[in-house]
Structure 1
Amino acid sequence: MHTTANRVTGIIDIGSNTVRLSVYQLTGNGAYRVVDQGRWPARLSQRMSADGKLPDEAVEELAEVLRHYVRICAKHGAERVRAVATAAIRQAANRDKVAERLRLAAGVDIEILSGEEEARLGSAAMLNSLRFGDGFVVDIGGGSTEITLVRQRKVVSAVSFPIGCVNVSARYGLGEAVVEQATLNDIVAEAKRLMQGTDWIAGHPGLPLIGLGGTVRAAAKLHQRETGYPFPHLHGYELSVADVAGTLQDLAALAVSQRRKRPGLSKDRSDVIVPGLAILRGVMELTRASSLVVCGTGLRDGLFYETCHPYSPLSSDDDVLEESIRNLVALYPAAPGGHLQQVRKLAVALFDPLNAVSPLPEGSRRLLDTAARLFRIGATIDYNDCADHTFYMLLHTHWNGLSHREKILAAAVASYRSPSSLKRKLSAYQSMLEDGDAETIAKLGALLLLASALDRSESQAISALHIAIEDKKLKLLAESGHPLPVERMEVGNMAKEFKKIWGMTPDLQVIRTDGAPL
């Protein structure tokens, strides 16, 4: 897709609560990843003067942060730095002067985004990283909240409200003390009152609410910590309406000093998490959302897609997974593409007749197809212990298109070697698995091992594979231009284990592509 050499771009998001940097690398083969990040708790919304201006000392501090970020970008060889400002600077009475002073001080133009642009970019990031066709997207920032309605993976409506966790905290005088129930109710009511004038927000009950931004991520991280959730990612994590309400009540009853000691909650979020969650509760009540799903991507990712990797938001749920797999394979090219394609083709060819006689759960074919393209990814670390490296990488690398449980299943299939090694790998994730998952993984893993054995020479010698199941035998008749001694040996070596799992013995016979025996 791309033929140029590596390109590096810095994206700076001057938010009302936090100033963030992401440095993206786009490689010559179209792979992309974040290579550096920065975060500064600026609290710009809190620092506005009585006449609505951002004071000089805040601007100077911000300029120093931007200079630091620009130096980081230069260290990575960035060819472009794009800096945008959101609600705090957007709403400042001296916004144009602030933007000009920052440009002169840091040497980078400052784009002041409208609320609608902010919503659009956040929604683009979500659509490229989560498998949701319909839902609301909410981004609760320090000085504003954006809500977007998505139907059939298209943005239908978007709106921004000047209410965020930092300016609400200042307006209600929330200091170090506990937040009284009456105050919580007032914040929730204010959020709903602001949004009630926008008819479509309340007009689609039952849709999921997809949450962007620090408030949602902080709530999810805290919930994962307190429930002992074993999976290492926030992106795609789901919270119920009751979870959000319970976390809000729990944190509101604590003084800020006590919240700072709460494991799983960052100290610089402890004073604004309660007003942020109160706004979120108002959004959830008004939309009557079915659940809250955490989106780990956001404004900076939307800007990256727009700036460096331009394409329309992925048009189908399956495209999200396809694009992620494409990116992973391009980032970690551990096996020849021809071999991966052949193993994938053979694995799916084996699955269909076997599934017909011994049906596997819905979604199994997609898991096998995913694992077949990624089973060699661990070899980028080391060929020895490739399976263990593959399992670790697929659970700790950022990729999209599967739920957390599905990622565990796909990683286990891709790295499958034996029932005993599978049990060891899954032990930490038992709370996330369902009855029968281990059996499904073993069956799919054995199929993948068989498909890999059928191209052990990595020559794609099999041009066609005829499959028949008779008398507890899996008869494989391969058409090839030459004998397959290595493949026949590999299939024979694994036959006993395959029979234990599938109840049938694989038997490989080879004929020439013209039908003559070999």
Structure 2
Amino acid sequence: MKKISLIDIGSNTIRLVLFEYTKEHGIKEIRNIKTPARLAQYIDDDGYMSEEGILALLKILNSFKQISEKYHINKIYPVATAAIRQSENRDDIIERIKSELDLDAVIISGEEEATLGFEAAVHTISYYDAVTIDMGGGSTELTFYEDKEIVYRTSLSFGVVTLNTMFFEGRKHNDKEAIKKTKQFVEKEFNKVNWLRDRKVPILAIGGSARNIARIHQSMISYPIAGVHGYTMGRNSLQDVYKLLKKTDTENLDDIDGLSKDRADIILPSSIVFRTLLDVVGAKEFKFSRKGLREGMAMRLFSQEYPVAFNKYRVFEDSIEQLANDFNLDPTDTEKRTEIVDRLYHELERLDIITLSRTNKMIMKHAAGIYYLGDFIDRDASSQHTYYLISNSNINGIGHRDRVRLALIASYKNKTLLDFYAKETGWFNDEELDEIQSLGSLVKFANALNISNTEIVDNLQLSKQDGDFRLNIQYNGDPIAEEYHSVRQKKHIEKILGGDLWIEFTES
């Protein structure tokens, strides 16, 4: 296990994140603490950060250093972005951090900040092509990538705090003239980025302002599951949030569920930026990534010691493997169950009984791997715990709808419970639920064929004769437990087959 402390010194907030890395569990947050700083407001007309701002910064860093030391973490990495980067006295600020706190703060360039955000996004989101935006308090970073390789990157010298200062200072948060000028300014700035227009790829939004927009929309529609990572909004949804913010009086902003009090005065400018970018890019999807600069920097630091720790082409697979490890699932059991369900599916496909899309087949196999992980909490309520844990877990590389599909299959016990869980979201029609039930049945039956966790099944073959089906299972070992449980569960497979199933165990 390796631990580090990362301090993100932004223009709007300063955040401490304590990370640990293990091969089995990947990167985990031990602690995540933020405090509003608004450092950008301490920079005067000549571009110098005032003594008041420097003292506020030093006080926060000292507190974060003490917290890190209480967790016995000595490797502390303060990373400074726009506010200090744009300060004329940045070298003096870095020197004072070193002399007064003995911390080695690093100022990263806007392009480097964009790259770190990109790295975090491609390692946690499955899109192979996208535009990323990381909007902070004092700058906005943009990238365009194809096949998970960065093509363009740039940093624009405005953020939510600077927009607020430029156009809304002394005005209400929804002042019409300020909104008009902000729109004109943002569109002009985006048009200067000659590689940005009409890319027609999804947008991945990083940072606190983006997450806040997502949380507001989730509250507006009573979103049924947790988390904003991987949450997707279209143009109409962004427009709905914008309209809500615009029509709400300043004194009533606190009544908007999901809106952080720290961002109440700067949320409307960020909404304008995101809507404008959607139009410039010609994107249909606006997806949110909870991972950004901090995670990108953490991956870079951990990779120095573990060079093959992160694979951007195995995002979903690695996330499932780490989830299985988090709940202490036996790897030999999960591998065997996955192997059996794959063979069952291929036999059904060979007889033209069932055919799946590539995505749904992948989801079925991974559901087999984490089947009934809720046993970790309570075996008597394993199905319930499994569904709610998976549907509300942050699983990288998969959208929320497919995450719920995964949860429904991995928790499958019977149709009654399936319908009960599915009713929570209401995302699937009858045809889709029938398919989910079939896949859940296959996973449940595969589990029955390795119920003793002794890996006795070597091979299996399904045949059809006179409307009935026969499943020949070749085994090596003692199949007594598997014989009993497979007969108990065969009714689930018979529903898929539309006929009687005879099970025959044959010694290899």
TM-score relative to the length of structure 2:
0.94
Corresponding residue of 1:208: 202
Secondary structure of residue in 2 paired with 1:199: coil
Corresponding residue of 1:3: none
Output the CA distance in 2 between the equivalents of 1:288 and 1:312: 35
Secondary structure of residue in 2 paired with 1:172: helix
Corresponding residue of 1:458: 453
Which of 139-148 and 15-24 deviates more? 15-24
Select which of 412, 416, 440 maps to 1:416. Answer: 412
Cα distance change of structure 1 residues 417 and 22 upon mapping to structure 2, 3 Å threshold: same
Partner AA of 2:454 in structure 1: S
Q: Is 1:106 the counterpart of 2:101 in the alignment?
A: yes
TM alignment of 1:98-497, pairs within 5 A: 98-175=93-170, 177-202=172-197, 204-309=198-303, 310-311=307-308, 314-316=311-313, 319-334=314-329, 336-356=330-350, 357-362=352-357, 363-430=359-426, 432-497=427-492
Answer whether contact 1:473 1:504 (CA < 8 A) is retained: yes
Q: Is 1:71 the counterpart of 2:73 in the alignment?
A: no
Deviation at 1:471, TM superposition (A): 4.2
Output the CA distance in 1 between the equivalents of 2:408 and 2:265: 41
Secondary structure of residue in 2 paired with 1:221: helix
Deviation at 1:132, TM superposition (A): 0.6
Output the CA distance in 2 between the equivalents of 1:211 and 1:305: 19
Answer whether contact 1:164 1:279 (CA < 8 A) is retained: no
Which of 76-85 and 417-426 deviates more? 76-85
Output the CA distance in 2 between the equivalents of 1:403 and 1:298: 18
Secondary structure of residue in 2 paired with 1:200: coil
Deviation at 1:315, TM superposition (A): 4.7
Deviation at 1:253, TM superposition (A): 3.5
- For residues 11-30 of structure 1, the C-alpha deviation after alignment (integer angstroms, 9 at most, x for no partner) is 11111111112211213635
Output the CA distance in 2 between the equivalents of 1:320 and 1:464: 30
Output the CA distance in 2 between the equivalents of 1:269 and 1:383: 43
- For residues 237-281 of structure 1, the C-alpha deviation after alignment (integer angstroms, 9 at most, x for no partner) is 111223223422431333332212212211111100111122223
Sequence identity percentage: 26
Cα distance change of structure 1 residues 289 and 495 upon mapping to structure 2, 3 Å threshold: closer
- For residues 189-208 of structure 1, the C-alpha deviation after alignment (integer angstroms, 9 at most, x for no partner) is 21222232321111x43211
Unmatched 5+ stretches in structure 2: none
Corresponding residue of 2:34: 39
Answer whether contact 2:202 2:285 (CA < 8 A) is retained: yes
Secondary structure of residue in 1 paired with 2:473: strand
Answer whether contact 2:144 2:153 (CA < 8 A) is retained: yes
Cα distance change of structure 1 residues 311 and 48 upon mapping to structure 2, 3 Å threshold: farther
Corresponding residue of 2:80: 85
TM-score relative to the length of structure 1:
0.92
Output the CA distance in 1 between the equivalents of 2:488 and 2:217: 47
Output the CA distance in 2 between the equivalents of 1:138 and 1:322: 26
Deviation at 1:350, TM superposition (A): 0.5
Answer whether contact 2:167 2:181 (CA < 8 A) is retained: no
Secondary structure of residue in 2 paired with 1:120: helix
Deviation at 1:327, TM superposition (A): 1.7
Secondary structure of residue in 2 paired with 1:342: helix
TM alignment of 1:19-34, pairs within 5 A: 19-27=14-22, 29=24, 31-34=26-29
- For residues 119-165 of structure 1, the C-alpha deviation after alignment (integer angstroms, 9 at most, x for no partner) is 00000000011111111001111100011001111100100000100
Deviation at 1:372, TM superposition (A): 0.9
Deviation at 1:230, TM superposition (A): 1.0
Corresponding residue of 1:516: none
Cα distance change of structure 1 residues 323 and 485 upon mapping to structure 2, 3 Å threshold: same
Partner AA of 1:401 in structure 2: G
Secondary structure of residue in 2 paired with 1:170: helix
Partner AA of 2:338 in structure 1: R
Give the number of aligned pairs.
503
